[in-house]
Chain A
Amino acid sequence: MTISHMKFPVLLLFFVANICLAQKNTNEDFRFLERTEDIKINLKKGTFNIVKSIHEKAEYVTANKLYFANEVLHFDSFTKLQDIEATTYLPVSGKTLEVDYIETKHEFDDGIFYSDQQTKNFTFPGVTKGAITDLKYKEIISEPHFLGLFRFGTYAPTQKAILRIEFPKNVEIGYKEFHTENITIDFKKEETKNSNIYTWTTENVAKFMSEDDAEAALYHLPHIILHIKNYTEDNKTVPILNNVKDLYSWYASLAKQVDESDLKKVYKIAEDIAKKYTTDREKAEAIYNWVQENITYVAFEDGLGGFIPRGAASVCKNRYGDCKDMANLLYVMLNHVGIPSYRTWIGTRDRPYLYDEVPTPMVDNHMITATVIDKDTIFIDGTDSYVNFGMPSSFTQTKEALIGISPEKFVLKKVPVQPSEKSKTSINTTITFENGNIKASEKRTMTGYERVDFVTDYLYKKKDNTEEEFLNTTLALGNNKTKYQNIEVSPLESKHKTLTLTFDLLIESYAKTIGSKTILNLNIDRVLSKQKIDIEVRKYAKKIDHQFQKKYTTTFIVPKGYKVTSVPKPIKYDGKAYGFDINYEQKDGKVIQHKTIYINTLRVEKEDFEAWNSFVKKLIKAYKKSIIIEK
């Protein structure tokens, strides 16, 4: 039965939030005629009143994407929405229809258990081919640290995008553009008696389209981040976000509000764990493992509560917390047993910024703990239940960490990329040929992120499937007739450095016997063979989650009465960033295939696509080669 390409996902229509950049396309179904954001900053005696006036005008070029008529505006305890005016203009009849019904809603989110974020939902009336919708509303921002960002481009083409900010002359504003190299922006500075006005205008920005295995949208989308640097009142300059120091002192002021009462029980747990070990490294590892195993991730985002970690005592009692709660708990426990540790702010790999570029809360979205043992800075992420101590969570590699040393002092340090040797899978397979079928027994030993990925998939991707089905879809060994038997998985907890997976395989209709010859391909695992990049259409670099190595030793036991008549020649691709090596050895009635594959990069840049493809093509070519045995 032919597999149909999924049922048409009706849901897809309502969540086209996956913003995407494409070439200018005249066949667009929907486009923005205008997107304007007008920010007005008022300051009175140290209190800011910030109003963003937003205006969006869009055209339905065809009737194919009418679902864009469903509008959702988000707000939370830091922002208020006001004066929403939305209309549809129908050029054919000259009529204008008004949105007369707006509903306030909550959304449940898989990642965040409770959030104070709400939405205003409404539908533009009467949209059809040719309709023009017009949306105006005000966003009132109560927290001067959150000026946000403006996207020049978005999920639909934009004919004109304007950002305008008007602020009193005693206020200083900072800004930085990202990925605007390929668009033309007209920047203008004006002033009135009391205010400065900055305006950025751009025209005809193509729509942005996300790609598989690519960095997040903010790595490509043309946008700008604004921040209030400081203000001067009564000859005194008050900093807001001049630089990282200001950002940090704001974070530190929030951290000060952490409830530090009642820590006795927490201390006792830390002491009980630590006393079983001698070195700081062992102690830290055991404490980290305890948090990984005993604190479950549950996130609350509730006003500033979304920024202030909950007290360690409460996290320990409740046995749940989010990233900042776990980071703080680790900080308390480790320091208590004499291991210097620090609360650390960091952006995951989804955030492309450096703190110095834009010293704002936009840079980070995560919190971890940094600890220093034998002069070695170790990043510990309480939210990653399965990574081994000593390795940062995979999604924080390469990112700049803001480590809070004391309320006044911080350091910026990059989380190192974890080399491929640390994430290794060794695969040992013995293959026999019996009654026309292939039997194999395999043992996979995984370390580092290879281990973490397997565990998370095994626990959460498997869902209601059986273990056999899970392995069949994730490993896809042999062909789709492969049967997995006697599956065994070693303990999953992160205190175990390696994970071992063993199983037996029965693969029917795999070896081809024609006359006296049997042809058999020892590459039952064809990892990376589907990774060719479509160079003509691909726009963005390919993102790789972690560097890794795979080492295969595949031993084929030549059945009695057979002789080996053909063995493939060795083949390899010897790149700096990626490569493989396959060779065959014949001894004692066996054919042994040795195969190593390595990826030593986290990104394949656009200019390296050709090289990547020749690597994949050569690998596919190598996968095609079989051995032949004859009676």
Chain B
Amino acid sequence: MRSIIVILLCLCTTQAFSQFYKEYDWAKKPKLHKLSDKEANESSIAIMEKYMVEYVIPDFGNNLQKFETTHTIARVHDEKGIKTHNTVYISMYDVINIVDIKARTITPDGKVTLLNKDNIKEVKNVEEYGDFKIFAIEGAEKDSEIEVLYTLEKEYSAFGRETLQKSYPIKKLEYDFIYGKMPGRAKVYNAFTDFDDRIYNKRQGKQLILEDIVPMIEEEYATPNSNKIYVAFQCFGPGTNVTDDMLWSNVVTNITEGMFPEKVHPEITKIVTGILKDQKTDDYTKAYLIDDYVKKNYTIVKNNNAQLSEIDYIIKNKSASDLGIIKVYSHLLEAAKVEYMPVITSDVYEHKFDSEFFNPTALREFLIYIPKAYNYITPNRVDYRLSEIPPNILGNTGIFVNNKKQFSFYKIPQKDPDYSRVERNMNISFEDDMEYVKIDQNQKYFGHWAMNNRAYLNLAPEQAIKEFEDYLTGSGIEDKVVKKYETENKEMMQLEYNKPFLVSSTITSESLLEEAGDSYIFQVGKVIGTQSELYQETKRVNPIQMQYPNRYNYQIVVTIPTDYEAEGLESLIIKKELLDDKGEQKCKFESNYKLEGNKIVITIEEFYKEFEYEIAEYEGFREVINAASDFNKAAILMNPKE
């Protein structure tokens, strides 16, 4: 009797701690699933996607274990659908053991083809992503179901993140996060449903179930990638009590190691004297010179060479990792006595930073804030010099660290509201007995516009420069002939704050002047270049994010030939605006004209004071954006005088 009890007890304990992933399997006899007509119309649809993350305290030893299971079933209806699902890439990053990888195809007539495991290929050190196991799905025909199931044992890491929204629809998604007695937390983003507590074989866990996930769609003025549904989780050893605050603090300490040098590297001291020469005035100038020096002398390298973050190696080889380069800047700024703050954040188009849930994958972008200049150094952008925050960071939250290694979270703003703007002045005349149109134009580009233009003209390959020059002399005029094209302030090095980049050009075009009997139609709207038009047949999904606040001021003077008179000028009057609660304009497009003798003087003002707008504001925003493209269609009719 006693022995029986012992055996029973043993069974119970084993069962109590048995790992859930071990019991999980696919259906013994798979059958095709039933789909609605709409679902059957998709190129492909995931019938089920299941992710299981299980943390385990091992019976022996101290190392916590982490198992990750992925199970997907997708129906493929056409070639495109097959191509979406018939190649499988499994990352081996942190994987210590492949518990199992299997895949099968079920055809409409019920035939099951099992993946031949010998056909799984190993690919080592792919770009920056590490090793992979890859295989092609065997036997997939139209209307088949492709099923993939694999479990990987990974090195213990307390954190994880998984994007759940894909390029195809998902009927049902399950996310199981099993942590037993350990402190575990999980958070879902951009979804309407949350995790529920669940017990898995007597082990504590959380489950998320989502139904009918639509693919994220591409929208303009949006950050669709960072708005996708995703999950982040944390799980620590039993009995520990780790807070987000501790985690951030710890990571800031680690990352900023060497970013506040107590003693400037002797080599740097020499270099700084050479860079600054007699320019020892303000932080803006000094930081700009330092930024320009680093971008012209250092290369950021992405590989696994650990020395790329060691200051001696970096200075000797002028090569650094993306973190290592910050150390170079730190030494240089320190030596030049410029106040600076390292900023840790992520690309807003990829990830929206959440300060309330620690997630190390969010720490991707490293910048340097120069408080006295209110500007930033963006070390990994050779196309940038000290400036307002670049558009891929603007609006995200960042960690700002001071020289006492204290840190705070801020939503990263733009300081100067008028930073980026374009001014244009055009003089338009009709030549050669109404054969063609001649446009003389002077343009001034400020802020990010200027930065982008300079980067193109200095750094891009020739072909791209040629295309860019075409853009600078007026886009969308198909038969344009460029008679003159000159630029000023083209160099990357511009020590004067926000000095404009200038273009002066003369072009001619026949196509802008259309014939209608004895009259001519002048497509004046086209001279401002192709304008973006927002179509929205379907409901807007993403809130609006513009690259940066913007302003345009144009003046167009059209000289009408003396033996003609102009008609149809009312199409030049357009006004659209979006107001905030207080009635202030958030964005606006306004065009108007005056007649001065035989000259029509057209003025356009367009601006976007904010870079973020809510979905509810979309219609108003769209009207302003589209107003510019309405102007694109403005035309003047010129009739011969009688």
Report A's interface with B, CB cutoff 8 A. Answer: 1-5, 7-10, 12-13, 16, 18, 20, 22, 63-67, 69-70, 97, 100-101, 103-108, 113-114, 118, 121, 123, 125-129, 209-212, 293-294, 296-298, 317-320, 385, 459-460, 463-466, 468-469, 472, 479-481, 483, 509-510, 512, 514-515, 519, 521, 529-530, 532, 537, 565-566, 568, 616-617, 620-621, 623-626, 628
Contacts and interface: CB of A to CB of B under 8 A. Distances in A.
Given A16-B461, A317-B138, A69 B299 contact: yes
B80 A459 contact: yes
Given A1-B531, A114-B123, A624 B513 contact: yes
B375 to A, nearest CB: 18
B126 A107 contact: yes
A532 B303 CA distance: 45
A69 B300 CA distance: 10
B79 A296 contact: yes
B511 interface: yes
B463 A103 contact: no
Interface in B101-146: 113, 121, 123-127, 134, 136-142
B560 to A, nearest CB: 15
Interface in B591-642: 606, 608, 624-626, 628-630, 632-633, 635, 637
Contact of B568 (A4, A108, A514): A514
Interface in B437-464: 449, 452, 455-456, 458-464
23 contacts: A1-B606, A5-B475, A8-B383, A8-B452, A20-B462, A20-B463, A22-B462, A103-B305, A108-B123, A108-B126, A113-B134, A123-B301, A128-B297, A129-B296, A296-B82, A320-B86, A320-B136, A385-B79, A465-B217, A479-B633, A519-B637, A617-B510, A624-B514
Contacts of B213: none
B471 to A, nearest CB: 4
A3 B531 contact: yes
A18 B516 contact: no
A514 B136 contact: no
B125 A103 contact: yes
B139 A318 contact: yes
Contacts of B382: 10, 13, 66-67
What are the 4 tightest A-B residue pairs by CB atom distance, in nearest-first order? A125-B317, A63-B296, A566-B517, A5-B471
Nearest to B639: A514
A392 B38 CA distance: 36
A530 B478 contact: yes
B65 interface: no
Given A1-B624, A113-B134, 11 more contacts: A5-B452, A5-B456, A8-B456, A10-B383, A66-B296, A97-B317, A212-B463, A468-B535, A479-B633, A620-B478, A621-B510
A464 B516 contact: no
B126 A105 contact: yes
B449 A620 contact: no
Contact of B630 (A65, A107, A464, A509): A509
A118 B124 CA distance: 9
B138 A101 contact: no
A1 B514 contact: no
B629 to A, nearest CB: 5
A320 B366 CA distance: 44
Nearest to B546: A1
Contacts of A537: 466
A112 to B, nearest CB: 11
A105 B452 CA distance: 32
A385 B139 CA distance: 18
B83 interface: yes
A625 B516 CA distance: 6
Contacts of A20: 461-463
Contacts of A66: 296, 299, 382
Contacts of B547: 4, 7
Given A10-B383, A63-B296, A103-B125, A514 B139 contact: no
Contact of A209 (B79, B142, B462): B462
A235 to B, nearest CB: 46
B124 A104 contact: yes
A480 B630 CA distance: 9
Interface string B309-323: 000000011110000
B568 to A, nearest CB: 5
B57 interface: no
Interface in B487-544: 510-511, 513-517, 519, 521, 528-533, 535, 537-538
Q: Is the interface of B mostly helix, strand, loop or mixed?
A: mixed
B562 interface: no
Nearest to B215: A464
A296 B140 contact: yes
Nearest to A128: B297
B364 to A, nearest CB: 14
Contact of B318 (A127, A459, A509): A127
Given A3-B532, A12-B464, A514-B568, A529 B478 contact: yes
Contacts, number: 242
Interface in B27-62: none
Contacts of B517: 565-566, 628
A9 B383 CA distance: 9
A330 B630 CA distance: 54
Contact of A12 (B297, B460, B510): B460
B157 to A, nearest CB: 23
Contact of B521 (A18, A125, A294, A519): A519
Contacts of B86: 296, 298, 320
Contacts of A8: 383, 452, 455-456, 459-460
Nearest to A458: B80
Given A106-B124, A460-B80, A514 B567 contact: yes
Nearest to B297: A128
Contacts of A123: 299, 301, 303, 319
Nearest to A521: B514
Contacts of A106: 123-127
Contact of A127 (B218, B299, B316, B550): B299
A1 B461 contact: no
A481 B142 contact: no
A224 B123 CA distance: 34
A7 B521 contact: no
B632 A479 contact: yes
B183 interface: no
Contact of B633 (A118, A212, A296, A509): A509
A74 B427 CA distance: 54
Contacts of A293: 79, 142
Contacts of A515: 567
A103 B637 contact: no
Given A108-B126, A465-B218, A103 B141 contact: no
B561 interface: no
A70 B123 contact: no
Contacts of B515: 568, 624-626
Nearest to B292: A63
A226 B532 CA distance: 52
A97 B316 contact: yes
B463 A209 contact: yes
Contact of B629 (A481, A521, A616, A620): A481
B564 interface: no
A463 B218 contact: yes
A107 B560 CA distance: 60
Contacts of B317: 97, 100, 125-126
Contacts of A1: 531-532, 550, 606, 608, 624-625, 628
Contacts of B528: 2
Interface in B48-91: 79-80, 82-83, 86-87, 89
Contacts of B297: 63, 126, 128
A101 B521 contact: no
B307 interface: yes
A620 B510 contact: yes
B527 to A, nearest CB: 12
A479 B526 CA distance: 11
